[in-house]
């Protein structure tokens, strides 16, 4: 799908704040509500309030509605707004709405609309280019997450990362299970050792000249999570291909940053593993030593993502000098979904100013985050009688927070660190807003906009 100046077969209209003249059609103009009049070659979509989320939902809804027809072009007049970020969201929605994951279907999805024709004298080339880069990378993330675990193994994820590095002139280092074991990353190594598909630590670097900042992004890449010996119930095992969402997200972010030519040095670290059962699986009651020397009592092998991330955090602090910020992204806890629902991610850390900046950015991009504050009592729940720390808390309550606090034990400068628990919105088994069934690419837009703001 391409953007161009000109006229199209169908005219699309954004209807803001109600639709009194459409009463006979029972069209109320609610967010994302569509009225299509094919005989008039007109399509209308409602918006209750102009913001990024609603604009993306509106334009995505137009494309979704037209998939049942054979029209190849849509003409639309962009809203009369000057905010560049809102206009990017407006155009981005068309491409996000056109996404369907049909890799494993014999009957492929239809994508009849080939052109979005812009009816305006304004120039939008720069805006549409960025919208295309953003949407293409979100869909790239979606594809990785949606792909089945037998296809996206740790080695395959590493191969995808190498391909991204080659095409985008990034540095890429891939470390195997032998490296993890020989160099003391025993927490990460232990999680993946029972699988026939051994783990990989993937390190991508984007280093533009005269960069303003140095940022580290770490992603949980559990290509599949059976729960290990603390085996998940069958129903909870379905959708665990989504446990690689954090890794896919940071891969998409560094790819987009290079394509947008951001003047920020970025390091993306992907912890890729499969948490499986077997005679050599790590066990409840094991004591693992992370790279920083801290010992971890394992009381539940289904709290594995934090073990992978712990060593990835250690790797970053040992191998990347003088970074300004370090963020980790993970579908880490069901507790976060219970607390915030499927459409909101949790954000945690010790630097309140940094978190507030990210929250303000998320409001502009239309993604929902909620700040979850630590307190002095929670850390006591991770106390172990036989090791330095336990991999799960002694209380069933506050699981998202105690998981975040666990990770903080592997960060030296805690003011630089922020934790994103994206377990809810990263993968939802129904359409919502401008997102399809399955993977959403959540957090990408917020982080890219945040990096651009430096």
Q: What does the DSSP assignment read for 302-362? A: T--HHHHHHHHHHHHHHHS-S-SEEEEEE---HHHHHHH-TT-EEEEES-HHHHHHHHHHH
Q: State yes or no: pLDDT of 143 exceeds 90.
A: yes
pLDDT in tens, 74-94: 999 999 999 999 999 999 999
Decide if pLDDT at 99 tops 90: yes
Q: Rounded CA gap, 61 and 433, in Å? A: 8
Show which residues are catalytic.
Answer: 232, 306
Q: What are phi and psi of 349, to 5 degrees?
A: 160, -175
Q: Are 19 and 3 in contact (CB under 8 A)?
A: no
pLDDT (0 to 100) of residue 26: 81
Average the pLDDT over 60-72 and give the result.
96
DSSP assignment letter at 151: T
Is the sign of the CA dihedral 127, 138, 444, 320 positive or negative?
negative
- The token duo for 379 is 């850390």
User: What CA–CA distance (Å, rounded) separates 313 from 409?
Assistant: 10
**Residue 18: is its pLDDT beyond 90?**
no
Burial of 252 (0-12, 13-18, 19+ CB in 10 A): buried
Provide the token pair at 58: 């509106």
Per-residue confidence band for 19, with pLDDT thresholds at 50, 70 and 90: low
Tell me phi and psi for residue 16, to 5 degrees.
-105, 135
Q: What is the per-residue pLDDT for 60?
A: 98
N-terminal to C-terminal alpha carbon distance within the chain = 31
Instruction: Please report which helix (H) or strand (E) contains residue 172, including its range.
Output: strand 171-175
Overall average pLDDT of the 123-137 stretch: 97
What is the average pLDDT across 10-29?
A: 83
Mean pLDDT across the chain: 97
Q: Is the pTM of this model over 0.85?
A: yes
Residue 266 near residue 257 (C-beta atoms within 8 A): yes
Q: Is the pLDDT of residue 20 over 70?
A: no
What structural domains and CATH numbers belong to the chain?
A: 2-120 (3.40.220.10), 135-452 (3.40.630.10)
Q: Following DSSP, what letter does each residue of 235-259 receive, concatenated?
A: HHHTTGGGGGHHHHHHHHHHHHHHH
> Which tokens belong to 28?
């109320």
Q: Helix, strand or coil for residue 86?
A: helix
Average pLDDT over residues 168-179: 98
Percent of the chain with pLDDT over 70: 99
Whether 232 shows a pLDDT value over 80: the answer reads yes
Q: pLDDT tens digit string along 253-275?
A: 999 999 999 999 999 999 999 99
């Amino acid at each position: 799908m391409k953007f161009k100046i000109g006229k199209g077969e169908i005219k699309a209209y954004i209807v803001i704040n109600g639709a009194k003249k459409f009463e006979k059609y029972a069209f109320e103009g609610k967010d994302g509500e569509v009225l299509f009049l094919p005989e008039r070659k007109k399509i209308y979509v409602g918006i209750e309030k102009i913001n990024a989320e609603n604009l993306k939902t509106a334009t995505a809804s137009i494309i979704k509605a037209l998939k049942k027809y054979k029209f190849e072009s849509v003409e639309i007049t962009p809203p009369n707004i000057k905010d560049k970020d809102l206009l990017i969201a407006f155009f981005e929605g068309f491409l996000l709405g056109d996404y369907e994951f049909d890799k494993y279907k014999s009957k492929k999805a239809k994508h009849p609309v080939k052109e979005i024709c812009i009816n305006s004298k304004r120039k939008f080339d720069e805006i549409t280019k960025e919208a295309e880069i953003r949407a293409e990378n979100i869909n790239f993330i979606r594809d990785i997450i949606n792909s089945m675990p037998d296809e996206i193994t740790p080695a395959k994820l590493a191969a995808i990362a190498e391909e991204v590095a080659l095409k985008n002139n990034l540095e890429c280092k891939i470390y195997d299970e032998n490296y993890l074991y020989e160099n003391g990353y025993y927490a990460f190594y232990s999680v993946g050792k029972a699988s026939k598909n051994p783990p990989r630590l993937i390190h991508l670097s984007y280093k533009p000249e005269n960069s303003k900042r140095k940022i580290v992004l770490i992603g949980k890449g559990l290509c599949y999570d059976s729960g290990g010996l603390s085996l998940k119930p069958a129903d909870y095992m379905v959708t665990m291909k989504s446990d690689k969402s954090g890794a896919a997200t940071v891969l998409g972010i560094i790819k987009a940053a290079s394509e947008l030519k951001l003047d920020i040095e970025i390091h993306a670290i992907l912890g890729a593993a499969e948490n499986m059962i077997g005679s050599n699986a790590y066990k409840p009651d094991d004591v693992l030593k992370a790279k920083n020397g801290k010992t971890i009592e394992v009381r539940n092998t289904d709290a594995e993502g934090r073990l992978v991330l712990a060593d990835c955090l250690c790797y970053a602090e040992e191998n990347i000098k003088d970074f300004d910020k370090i963020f980790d992204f993970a579908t880490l806890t069901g507790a976060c979904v219970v607390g915030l629902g499927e459409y909101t991610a949790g954000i945690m850390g010790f630097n309140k100013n940094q978190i507030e900046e990210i929250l303000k950015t998320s409001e502009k991009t239309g993604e929902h985050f909620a700040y979850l504050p630590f307190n002095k009592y929670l850390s006591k729940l991770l106390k172990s009688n036989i090791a330095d720390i336990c991999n799960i808390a002694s209380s069933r309550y506050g699981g998202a927070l105690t998981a975040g606090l666990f990770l903080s034990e592997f960060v030296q400068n805690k003011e630089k660190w922020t934790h994103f628990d994206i377990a809810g919105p990263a993968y939802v088994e129904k359409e919502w807003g401008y997102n399809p069934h399955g993977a959403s690419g959540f957090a990408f837009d917020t982080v890219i906009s945040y990096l651009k703001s430096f």
